[in-house]
Amino acid sequence: MNKYTSKIGAYVSSDGSYSARAHVVAFEQDLLSDNQWEIMGELHDDDRYQYAVAVITGDSATAIRIEELI
């Protein structure tokens, strides 16, 4: 079994850092629109993971709530 996967894409960690203890979500970068990527850049590190997961899974209520934080 491979211990890692290598491919081009995007990722975000739950605490905004490189860590052995952080949850990480990896995804195709085109799952977020240009506007959503701009929002990601403005969000606090701690909010990016939840925002990315909300957008990717279609949870618009959570995505909108997080967008309102900026």
Q: Is residue 1 pLDDT above 70, yes or no?
A: no
Which sequence spans correspond to the domains of the chain? 13-67
| pTM for the full predicted model | 0.83
Rounded to whole angstroms, the Cα distance separating 1 from 20 reads 19
What torsion, rounded to 10 degrees, do the Cα atoms 20, 29, 60, 45 define?
Answer: 40
> What are the two backbone dihedrals, phi and then psi, of residue 24, each rounded to the nearest 5 degrees?
-130, 135
Give residue 32's pLDDT: 95
pLDDT tens for each residue of 15-61: 777 667 778 888 999 999 999 999 999 999 889 999 999 999 999 99
Give residue 15's pLDDT: 78
Give residue 34's pLDDT: 96
Q: Is residue 2 pLDDT above 90, yes or no?
A: no
